[in-house]
Chains A and B, each alone.
Chain A
Amino acid sequence: MDIDKRTQQLAGRLAYIRDIFGPRENASVAMLKHRLEEFLAQAPGLGMRELSQQVARLEELFSLLEGKLENELCPMDRVRIVRHPQRICLKDILENVYDNYTEIGGQDEWSIDPGIIIARATIARRMGKKTVHQSVMVIGQEKGHGQEFRNGGSIKPWGNANALYYMRVAEVENIPIHTYVFTPGAFPVEDYPGAAQQIAKNLYVMAGLKVPIVSVFSEGGSGGAEAIALADRRLMLSHGYYSVISPEGAAAIEGGLKDKASPELIERCAERLKITAFDNLRLGFIDRVIQEPPLGARPEHYEFFRELRREVVRATDEVVHQAQSLGPLRALAMRRKKRTADPQDIFVRWQLGAKARHALVEQRYAKFRDMSRSAFLDNRALGVRLSTALARGLWSVHSLLTHDLLARYKKRFSGLLEYVEAEMRALGQGVGGPFTLLSGGRRGVPPETLECLTTLSCPEEGACRLDDVWVYVSPKSREDRTLTCPNTATHGCLDLWAPDLFGEFAGVCSHCGHHFPMEFHWYLYNVFEFAQAYEFNTAIEAGNPLEYEGFGLKLAEAKRATGLASSCITFEAKLDGISTVVAVLASPFRGGTVGAAEGEKLIRAVERARIKRMPFIMYSHGTAGIRIQEGTCGVIQMPRVTMAVRRYIEAGGLYLVLYDTNSYAGPVASFLGCSPYQFAVRSSNIGFAGPGVIRETTGMDVPPKYHRAFSALSRGHIQGIWDRRDLKKNLHQALLTMGGRNLYYR
């Protein structure tokens, strides 16, 4: 190779190393710089042979020191690697890993969202002399080596919607999906279909997608990553990161500063969040790590692409093998083959049979159900655990008998009765004569019913005001002061006296209807009848699974201040006689954030509702998102709980979500947002990211009422807005009018 070219390459390698290590002083980097400069200074006076020898020596030195530097990489260096414009991107993978591909989600900037690439690709497999082309759907974010229009792989809601559409296409065509995660996070705009709502829809659909999904993580930024990463096999590139939030974002929250956080704090946060491939492997959120060349894979590392190809093929084979067993010889061969062997040698067809497709979804659920099990504190005694498991089994049998077996006959019998009665009535009406007497005829409205309908129920007491007597009255009503409604300037609301406002008015401005925030206890006792409810899983406590520095104290303080063990309260309650399972996310406990304990409690509550055939109501008193100090243990709750919810809905349940105050980020972008019935209490805010984050990431200012429930309603994210004083009535009506086939109380 030309000496100039080789020298240029070395200079490029040095520039790359310096980009990765940032401003840090490093002896190896300084040495490389010195040697290269020395060589460049001497070069004009050297002969051809001498030049060639010196360059070869320098190249060797570079390779040696790159290997050394590899061991010195800190988590933040890995973040810089995945964000580097020279980092491999999806186009490189399509070119080098697959044998052929056609882009179907748009081309370059002519795409609904150029940040995402969707392609149909093929991988050729050998079977003896025959070559079989296995089709796959490849979906992933594209950073495009710094192409501006790719938006850095930050996907807009319609990009995720497009990805979802083609996932469904893959399901129809019965071909596997390979997803490649190269995103710093989703683009947080609420325009339809809405960042949060679309990610929720993606998760919901992927939870039940009946084709193998394999995902490969390079840069896994929270919700944006989850939108395509709910997979049967999750592989990760050794220099990638997978995190609940970018280290910069974590540092901004940690520092509580309005200015930019210091680089040291960012580095510390990257360290604490446990974002590297090996951390995630150890925590169990990743199945395998694919080793990259020293200092990260770049487009010229062809050997790496071959390894990546082997890994994705092997992963797809494994998923298929798990769902539908291969022939005994191939199964044996697969077990015996070492990991380094080429998976091409054993032929596996990737199309699944009907039975296997069902098994695949079950295995996917089981896989995610097992994740983050050790990330919370389970203080239940062994006896309690055993009795819970026993009760669960008994309830399953009971439900099977009463709701599945007996109910079927009962339904048939009542259908028959209904048919006969309707026939008799028709006969009586049409024919007249003796048949009228037989069928009973019209007797008119009974006099007592008529009286009930036409007179006041308690006329001597004037108007009956039974509704405004609240069981629980907010302590804020004890204060002798007035409050001003925030709408005073536009609506001319008068000041409200706190005992009135927080007492009889239930925190609602009597002039404009603005809802002042109320404690979650108010809802527990006045809406969900908590006093008569049975609370379960109280012994599951939020923990500090990553040993995040300083978080243990904060958590203990939150537990002491609120008297709760986690931000989630789950209980069984009767709403006007209808038994329901209710889960509440309480805002005072760490902002209602969701971590491993909350996720586990939610899943158990959903499973309880499924087994006992009860409607499931999820009330978000306020949630700030996923608990960042739990890192990926928190973010994994998004797919986990969504999968449980999907199983519940498919089993015939009614899942109802009610938002209050402020609900943002992860939970809205997963298990809350995926419900077909979402309602909000007036004056609440719903969204993916708050105005500050939107401004920071997109550079756009958001209008003052961008996240208001009414905006969410007009964008089609929620189905209705309810007055706080009518919640109980509305919930009861919802239970009677909405929902799946398991609602036996009707």
Chain B
Amino acid sequence: MLNVKEMLEELKASPYEEIEIRTPHTGVVQFVGLKAGDRVLGPTGKWNEKPGTLLANLTREKNKKPICATQKGAVTDIAAELEGKFVEAGERLLTIRHFLSKEEVIARILKKALHLFCAPERAKYYFVPEIDAKIKAGGEQSVKLKDGMEMFFVSRMKRETPLAYSGPEGIIYAVYFQQGDNVDGGQPLIGVCQEAQLSLIQDVVSRVQGEWEEQD
């Protein structure tokens, strides 16, 4: 059985992710004057259209290319000895310590604790009437799932086909789609957890919501 609490403790002990920035290809490295401890930003803008903070430039064949931060965080370890040197592809330039946000922590916990049942193709998905009625009457967690149980209608171009659930037994923890909207193939439809773990997961999620301290 998955120990959710232990996972949370582990995350608390190291509440960040270390992102190593490596060279995408060979070239001469030029840093832009960042020091260890400097804060950097990931892509910003409504559509992430503005690139993150410039970390270094890599020049190959007179083609100078910027290397930008992919996440926000603090620069920890710069390979300053590479300044002005020609490097191979995959050489580490620096490390960004990215502190996890609440959403990221919850996503990590749920990723391990839940079984995600994903959409096999792009289509509209509907619950079968019995399950739909159950969810409406008693909420998502009132539905107990078994492997092979008929669960969805897949509607594509006005042609409806049934889709059965496949995966471990459990109850629906969360529904990730809107009935009537198109869902892309591979996107999660529902998250399933073991019935016994439900209260534990809910507890941990609410604790993260309340207690997790985000660091910039």
Contacts and interface: CB of A to CB of B under 8 A. Distances in A.
A395 interface: no
B159 interface: no
Given A481-B62, A704-B49, 15 more contacts: A480-B61, A480-B62, A481-B61, A481-B63, A482-B60, A482-B61, A482-B62, A482-B63, A483-B63, A484-B65, A495-B25, A495-B60, A497-B61, A701-B46, A703-B46
Interface residues on chain A, size class: 10 to 19
Interface in B32-72: 45-47, 49, 60-63, 65
Nearest to A691: B49
A502 to B, nearest CB: 14
Contact of B47 (A480, A495, A704): A704
A281 B171 CA distance: 79
Contacts of A480: 61-62
Nearest to B49: A704
Contacts of A497: 61
Interface of A: 479-484, 495, 497, 701, 703-704
Contacts of B63: 481-484, 495
A481 B25 CA distance: 16
A480 B60 CA distance: 12
A512 B63 CA distance: 19
A704 B46 CA distance: 10
Contacts of A479: 62
B109 to A, nearest CB: 30
Contacts of B61: 480-482, 495, 497
B16 to A, nearest CB: 25
25 contacts: A479-B62, A480-B61, A480-B62, A481-B61, A481-B62, A481-B63, A482-B60, A482-B61, A482-B62, A482-B63, A483-B63, A484-B63, A484-B65, A495-B25, A495-B60, A495-B61, A495-B63, A497-B61, A701-B45, A701-B46, A703-B46, A703-B47, A703-B49, A704-B47, A704-B49
Nearest to A494: B25
A475 to B, nearest CB: 16
Contacts of A483: 63
A389 to B, nearest CB: 55
Nearest to B45: A701
A497 B46 CA distance: 34
A704 B45 CA distance: 10
A454 to B, nearest CB: 41
A481 B62 CA distance: 5
B70 to A, nearest CB: 11
Nearest to B62: A481
A485 to B, nearest CB: 11
Contacts of A704: 47, 49
Nearest to A701: B46
Nearest to A497: B61
A479 B62 CA distance: 10
Contacts of B49: 703-704
A483 B46 CA distance: 28
A495 to B, nearest CB: 6
Contacts of A484: 63, 65
Contacts of A481: 61-63
A480 B61 CA distance: 8
Contacts of B60: 482, 495
A481 B49 CA distance: 27
A484 B67 CA distance: 13
B64 to A, nearest CB: 9
A703 B50 CA distance: 11
A701 B50 CA distance: 12
A184 B61 CA distance: 50
A481 B45 CA distance: 32
A601 B62 CA distance: 42
Contacts of B62: 479-482
A567 B55 CA distance: 41
Contacts of A495: 25, 60-61, 63
A479 B61 CA distance: 11
Contacts of A482: 60-63
B75 to A, nearest CB: 22
B197 to A, nearest CB: 39
A663 to B, nearest CB: 22
A357 to B, nearest CB: 51
Name the 3 nearest CB pairs between A and B, nearest first.
A481-B62, A482-B61, A704-B49
A152 B47 CA distance: 30
Nearest to B61: A482
Nearest to A483: B63
Contacts of B46: 701, 703
Nearest to A489: B51
Nearest to A481: B62
A482 B64 CA distance: 9
A480 B63 CA distance: 10
A484 B25 CA distance: 12
Nearest to B65: A484
A704 B62 CA distance: 28
Nearest to B68: A489
Nearest to A703: B47
